[in-house]
């Protein structure tokens, strides 16, 4: 087993407008990308579980030609709200890093 953080070249989060966060999981090796994709552990449901959301609130895509996986979720509070602790959404990717991949 390996964590997603060990297999991916880059895992990042950022704003996708003031009401949504997007996550990019990028690989520099086709074999590692296929390993994650074919394992079935990284899904809409897995992302939803990491962020306490129902799966239908997660947009989820495999981008084979870019060796990347993308997911988007609603922001817990909108960008700029007084309760917003991460205005750029750049620190929200951490829960994805520890996903175990067989």
Q: Where are the domains of the chain?
A: 2-75
Question: pLDDT digits over 1-54, tens only?
Answer: 999 999 999 999 999 999 999 999 999 999 999 999 999 999 999 999 999 999
- Mean pLDDT, to the nearest integer, of 63-74? 98
The pLDDT of residue 88 is: 94
From the candidate CATH numbers 3.40.1000, 3.30.70, 3.30.1360, 2.60.40, the one assigned to the domain spanning 2-75: 3.30.70
* pLDDT band, residue 62 (cuts 50/70/90): very high
Tell if the pTM clears 0.85, that is, is over it: yes
* DSSP summary character for residue 76: S
Phi, psi torsion values for 54, nearest 5 degrees: -70, 145
- Mean pLDDT, to the nearest integer, of 62-73? 98
DSSP, residue by residue, 12-73: EEEESSTTEEEEEEE-S-HHHHHHHHHHT-SSHHHHHHHHT--GGG-EEEEEGGGTEEEEEE
Can you tell me the distance from the alpha carbon of 61 to that of 63, in angstroms, rounded to the nearest whole number?
A: 6
């Amino acid at each position: 087993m390996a964590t997603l953080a060990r297999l991916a070249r880059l895992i990042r989060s950022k704003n996708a407008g003031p009401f949504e966060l997007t996550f990019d999981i990028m690989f520099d090796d086709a074999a590692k990308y296929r390993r994650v994709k074919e394992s079935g552990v990284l899904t809409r449901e897995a992302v939803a579980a990491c962020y306490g959301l129902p799966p239908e609130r997660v947009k989820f895509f495999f981008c084979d030609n870019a060796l990347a996986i993308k997911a988007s979720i609603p922001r817990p509070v909108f960008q700029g709200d007084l309760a917003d602790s991460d205005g750029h959404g750049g620190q929200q990717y951490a829960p994805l890093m520890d996903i175990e991949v067989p």
